[in-house]
Structure 1
Amino acid sequence: MTDFTGNHILSVNQLDRDAIAKIFETANMMLPYAQRKKRTHVLDGAILGNMFFEASTRTRVSFGSAFNLLGGFVRETTGMSSSALAKGESLYDTARVLSSYADVIAMRHPQSGSVKEFSEGSMVPVINGGDGANEHPTQALLDLYTIEKELTASLQTIDKMHIAMVGDLKHGRTVHSLSKLLAQYKNITFSLISPKALAMPDEIVSVLENAGHKVIITDSIEGNVDADILYLTRIQEERFTSQEEADLYRGQFRLNQQIYTKHCKSNTVIMHPLPRDSRSDANELDTDLNLNPNLAIFRQVENGVLIRMALFALTLGVSDQVSKHESDVHWFSRK
């Protein structure tokens, strides 16, 4: 993709290294606005249709905040039951109607391929906020952006790094999309750690191996998390046929400071797409890591706003006009 203006963002497969670099360059430009050091009104009058037909907190609010920070307005639809889809309306018809009310749409849906189907009826750009167990391109972009920033701080690069992905790799759309992006880099070692029944799909493993990367598939943390990046995921219980089936795997992989000290490098970066399951029977990422400087989960959240601001600016064709519409912040801003 060389020109983002007016185009949908549905899959990481659309993005080559040049496109990724353009998104990251634009995200860097958004920092003073995301940090409330400046305001921009570049999207004054524009409307985002924030359509989330599956439960979401961070992604939904992040999309909305990103659009507001560019000066635009947000209209939300949450939950299937509150939409005309519950009355039998097709995704195509819903898209034709709602795209007439908005300038861009961010959409999440529980069924794989649904966002693409919706986009075929939309008259405005559609950005995929997650479609079932399929893809989550904006999460993958913010994860990659975080990885690049974290490694740069320690004078490392994505090329030749070691990343360990842990947890529900079968249903975790974040690791699927991130793996596809990372496949474009060079000589990466992937440690894929999960219960055998929740292993990374074969097609994703093939993408990595065909790109020349080293792939280690295991069900053991011990000896496999001395990585540059440690990316944990929760058990995606909403993807299982029953709660009882999901419960079989809850709590199998946990990380706390003691385990980190024993098995990880002193500078291993800890990442997680959130929410982390802090219930006692899961507790995949212990709160005793909160003071660990290598815990990057909240930096990921902040980077998500930057990436989504960048995507809005690029798809609406205003990335070169942002600073021309800026003004000072007059209210108390966070430290």
Structure 2
Amino acid sequence: MSVPQQTFLRDAMRRLNMTREAFASRIGVSRRALDTWLLPAESAESRGMPEIVERFVNEILTRPADGQAAQSAYPGSGCPIQFEGRPQLLSVDQFSRESAEDLFRLADIMQPIARRQKISRVLEGAVLGNLFFEASTRTRVSFGAAFSRLGGSVCDTTGFTFSSMAKGESIYDTSRVMAGYVDAMVVRHPERGSVEEFARATNIPVINAGDGPGEHPSQALLDLYTIQREFSRIGKIVDGAHIAMVGDLKYGRTVHSLSKLLALYKNLRFTLISPPTLEMPAYIVEKLGERNHTVVQTTDLREGLRGADVVYATRIQKERFTDESFEGYTPDFQINQALVESVCGPDTMIMHPLPRDGRPGANDLSTDLNHDPRLAIFRQTDNGIPVRMAIFATLMGVENLVGRSMRDANWKSPAYIGVDDAVFHGID
């Protein structure tokens, strides 16, 4: 088998849009057997899948029940991410459901590298320019780490103060000059549409890491990837899910991008919970409606969370406000342990793009949920590495080299990254 057994099976379930229960039934094995095959090879409970099962799964993928051949989606079959004919990522609008899932299959293959178990040097010699004209910690370091784990090197710049743009240089000039120094650029800028200006000035890969209240496509991709992985563990699929989004839905670019990406799926129910002054932009609500999803807007957090499969909380984007006030965002909007215990189910997934405000009196996602396994925020951030690695590999045309370029890491990484990680974190 050219890919890890776990990756092969996850890919098959995703392509067939099946839960574990349905997939086990389709291939005629017990759920328990399938679970042991889906464990990573280093797990003591992992079991090898019989070769006859592998052949049968491949046959199903080649000739699905509807008689239509399943589109090959392993890396190497192509996952083009293009803006105006160039390899650049500016918006989730560049993705179809199929191309997003192509990217996730590549991210699955990246997992051993992201988990510090394998090493790849497919981007050795390449240089990334991390241009962050707005403060960032997680996104900037995540992109840098993803590029480095593929063998590249990173040049960072943060803020306008130390940029030639503070001297009046245009975005065009900055982009063109930087393109002569680096092989790819990741850009964050406080103004909507500014990253598109960077992209139009060069032919090298440019990735939008956030353009003001506009979009944050890589965050949406890692969010959806996380939802799929979490759902796979508990036997759910994205189609038909209930997604509750809470907080600053007006300026929160992460929920804008994630909503558009989720709109590619079927029969979703969106509950949008915010004060009246911070509601989701109308064009996104309309887009969801056009795709026949159910959309409910409310100010009632307790009722809005009932029955949700995913709770996606956001912080108030105070830096985006001008003369508006954000009155109405009271402690009633805080998601905490007591609220989750009273209205959420045992398999509800709690997400947040981070940073969250953990100071006393803040109305953000409460830190008293840190020991609750439903809190997926750190699994979410960890997934940013393989997803961003997959983005880089695709944009730079090395996606089909990764699988055969890996070698074992010489160091030993911890079994759990954080001391409070859930027992299944990084395993299933």
TM-score higher than 0.5: yes
Q: Cα deviations across residues 167-191 of structure 1 (Å, max 9, x unaligned)?
A: 0000000000000001111000000
Which residue in 2 is equivalent to 1:238? 319
Maintained 8 Å contact 1:256/1:286: yes
Distance 1:50 1:97 in 2: 14
From 121, 124, 145, give the equivalent of 2:225.
145
Contact 1:165 1:192 in 2 (8 A): yes
Asked whether the equivalents of residues 4 and 317 of structure 1 are also in contact (C-alpha less than 8 Å), the reply is: no
**Where does 1:129-208 land on structure 2 (aligned, <5 Å)?**
129-208=209-288
Q: Hey, what does 2:298 align to over in structure 1?
A: 218
1:154 Cα deviation (Å)?
1.3
* Higher mean C-alpha displacement, 213-222 vs 233-242: 233-242
Tell me what 1:4 maps to: 81
1:332 is displaced (CA, Å) by 3.5
1:275 is aligned to 2:355: yes
Matching residue within 212, 224, 228 for 2:309: 228
Q: Are the aligned partners of 2:275 and 2:328 in contact in 1 as well (CA < 8 Å)? A: no
Q: Say yes or no: does 1:77 pair with 2:157.
A: yes
> What SS does structure 2 have at the residue aligned with 1:80?
coil
- Residue 165 of structure 1 aligns to a residue whose secondary structure is strand
Q: Do the aligned partners of 1:51 and 1:76 also contact (CA within 8 Å) in 2?
A: yes
Letter in 1 for 2:225: Y
In structure 1, distance between residues paired with 2:132 and 2:317: 18
- Matched residues in 2 for 1:122 and 1:259: separation? 49
Q: Is the 8 A contact 1:170 1:198 kept in 2?
A: yes
Cα distance in structure 2, aligned partners of 1:323 and 1:143 = 24
In structure 2, distance between residues paired with 1:331 and 1:145 = 28
User: Residue 51 of structure 1 corresponds to which residue in structure 2?
Assistant: 131
Determine if contact 1:34/1:306 at 8 Å carries over to the other structure: yes
Higher RCO, 1 or 2 (CA under 8 Å, sep at least 6)? 1
- Counterpart contact for 2:369–2:375, Cα < 8 Å: yes
- Counterpart of 2:313, as a letter, is L
Matched to 1:274, the amino acid is L
CA distance in 1, matches of 2:327, 2:362: 9
- State the secondary structure of the residue aligned to 1:304: helix
- Distance across 2 between alignment mates of 1:136 and 1:169: 14
**Correspondence for 1:334:** 414
Q: Is the 8 A contact 2:277 2:326 kept in 1?
A: no
Question: Is the radius of gyration larger for structure 1 or structure 2?
Answer: 2
Shift of 1:250: 5.8
RMSD over aligned Cα atoms: 1.5
Distance change (3 Å), C-alpha of 1:14 and 1:160: same
Determine if contact 2:209/2:217 at 8 Å carries over to the other structure: yes
Please, which moves more after superposition, 247-256 or 119-128?
247-256
Would the aligned equivalents of 2:81 and 2:95 in 1 still touch at CA under 8 Å?
A: no
Residue 249 of structure 1: aligned partner? 329
SS at match of 2:134: coil
User: Which letter does structure 1 place at the counterpart of 2:314?
Assistant: T
Equivalent position SS for 2:301: coil
Please point out which of 172, 175, 181 is paired with 1:95.
175
Give 1:304's match in structure 2, choosing from 359, 384, 389: 384
Q: What is the aligned residue count?
A: 334
Per-residue deviation, residues 201-222 of structure 1 (Å, max 9, x unmatched): 0000000001000000001112
| TM-score, with length taken from structure 1 | 0.96
Aligned-pair distance for 1:280? 1.7
* Post-superposition offset of 1:141: 0.3
CA–CA distance in 1 between the matches of 2:176 and 2:104?
A: 31
In the TM superposition, structure 1's runs of 4+ consecutive aligned residues that sit over 6 Å from their partners are none
> 1:323: Cα distance to partner?
3.0
Shift of residue 150, structure 1, vs aligned partner: 1.1
The SS at the match of 1:175 is helix
Question: How far does residue 2 in structure 1 lie from its aligned partner after superposition?
Answer: 4.9
Q: What does the per-residue CA deviation read over 1:258-284, in whole Å, with 9 as the maximum and x for residues that have no partner?
A: 110111122110000000111222142
- In the alignment, which of 274, 292, 296 is matched to residue 372 of structure 2? 292
Structure 2 counterpart of 1:106, one-letter code: V
Give the TM-score taking structure 2 as reference length: 0.76
1:41 equivalent among 93, 101, 121: 121
Q: What SS class does the counterpart of residue 325 from structure 2 fall into?
A: helix
One-letter code aligned to 1:92: Y
Measure how far apart 1:248 and its partner are: 6.0
Q: Is the 8 A contact 1:53 1:108 kept in 2?
A: yes
Give the fraction of aligned pairs with identical amino acids, expressed as a percent.
52
